[in-house]
Structure 1
Amino acid sequence: MTGALLRIYAVLTKEFTQLSRDRITYAMILLMPLVQLLLFGYAINMDPRHLPAAVFSSDHSATANAVVSAMERTSYVDVRYLPRSTDEMDALLRRGQVMLGLTIPPDFTERVLKGDQAQVLVEVDASDPVSAASALGAVAALPDNALDRQLIGAAARPSTSPPFEVVTRRLYNPENITAYNIVPGLLGVILSMTLVMMTAMAVTRERERGTMEALLSTPATPIEIMVGKLTPYVLVGIVQTAVILVVARVLFSVPMAQTAAGWIALTFGVSLFILGNLALGYLISTLAKSQLQAMQMSFFYMMPSIFLSGFAFPFYGLPVWAQYIGNVLPITHFLRIVRGALLKQQTLSDMGPNLLALGLFVLIISTLALWRSRTTLD
Structure 2
Amino acid sequence: MNAALSAGRLGAILAKEFVQMRRDRITFAMMLVVPIVQLLLFGFAINNDPKGLPAAILALGQDRYTRAVVSALEVSGYYRFERRPESAAEAESLMARGAISFLVTIPSDFGTRVERADAPRILVEADATDPAASSGAVASLQTVANRALLRAQGLQAATKEQDEGSLSFVVHRRYNPEGITQYNIVPGLLGVILQMTMVMMTAMALTREIERGTMENLLAMPATASEIMLGKVLPYLAVGCVQVAVVLSAAKLLFGVPFLGGLALLLGSVLIFVLALVLLGYTISTVARTQLQAMQLTFFFFLPSLLLSGFMFPFAGMPGWAQSLGELFPLTHFLRVIRAIMLKGAGLDDVGREVFYLAVFVPAYAGLALMRFRSTLD
One-letter code aligned to 1:270:
V
| TM-score of the pair, normalised by structure 2 | 0.95
Moved more, 272-281 or 201-210: 201-210
Deviation at residue 113 of structure 1 after TM alignment = 0.7
One-letter code aligned to 2:208:
R
Do the aligned residues in 1 keep the contact of 2:103 with 2:124 (CA within 8 Å)? yes
Distance in 2 between the 1:98 and 1:377 partners? 52
Do the aligned residues in 2 keep the contact of 1:143 with 1:166 (CA within 8 Å)? no
Q: Which residue of 2 aligns with 1:8?
A: 10
Instruction: Tell whether 2:185 aligns with 1:182.
Output: yes
Q: Which residue of 2 aligns with 1:266?
A: 266
Where does 1:4-43 land on structure 2 (aligned, <5 Å)?
A: 4-43=6-45
| One of 120, 126, 139 as aligned partner of 2:128 | 126
Q: Which residue of 1 aligns with 2:341?
A: 341
Do the aligned residues in 2 keep the contact of 1:100 with 1:135 (CA within 8 Å)? no
Do the aligned residues in 1 keep the contact of 2:205 with 2:232 (CA within 8 Å)? no
Q: Which residue of 2 aligns with 1:314?
A: 314
Identity %: 49
Deviation at residue 318 of structure 1 after TM alignment = 1.2
Do the aligned residues in 1 keep the contact of 2:205 with 2:282 (CA within 8 Å)? no
| One of 219, 235, 248 as aligned partner of 2:222 | 219
Q: Which residue of 2 aligns with 1:228?
A: 231
RMSD: 1.9
Do the aligned residues in 1 keep the contact of 2:76 with 2:144 (CA within 8 Å)? no
Q: Which residue of 2 aligns with 1:117?
A: 119
Distance in 2 between the 1:91 and 1:249 partners? 26
One-letter code aligned to 2:110:
F
SS at match of 2:153: coil
Distance in 2 between the 1:44 and 1:153 partners? 40
| One of 133, 136, 139 as aligned partner of 1:137 | 139
Q: Which residue of 2 aligns with 1:368?
A: 368
Show structure 2 runs of 5+ residues with no match.
none
Distance in 1 between the 2:376 and 2:353 partners? 34
Moved more, 142-151 or 27-36: 142-151
One-letter code aligned to 1:33:
P
Deviation at residue 365 of structure 1 after TM alignment = 1.2
| One of 206, 209, 223 as aligned partner of 1:206 | 209
Distance in 2 between the 1:193 and 1:160 partners? 51
Distance in 2 between the 1:140 and 1:377 partners? 67
Deviation at residue 159 of structure 1 after TM alignment = 3.1
Instruction: Tell whether 2:250 aligns with 1:247.
Output: yes
One-letter code aligned to 2:204:
M
One-letter code aligned to 2:205:
A
SS at match of 1:274: helix
Deviations 1:14-64 (A, max 9, x none): 000000011111111110110111111111111111110001111012211
Do the aligned residues in 1 keep the contact of 2:219 with 2:375 (CA within 8 Å)? no
| One of 163, 168, 190 as aligned partner of 2:166 | 163
Q: Which residue of 1 aligns with 2:352?
A: 352
Deviation at residue 375 of structure 1 after TM alignment = 5.9
| One of 220, 237, 241 as aligned partner of 2:240 | 237
Do the aligned residues in 2 keep the contact of 1:222 with 1:377 (CA within 8 Å)? no
Distance in 2 between the 1:376 and 1:311 partners? 40
Deviation at residue 160 of structure 1 after TM alignment = 5.2
Residues 161/253 of structure 1: CA separation in 2 closer, same or farther (3 Å cut) = closer
| TM-score of the pair, normalised by structure 1 | 0.95
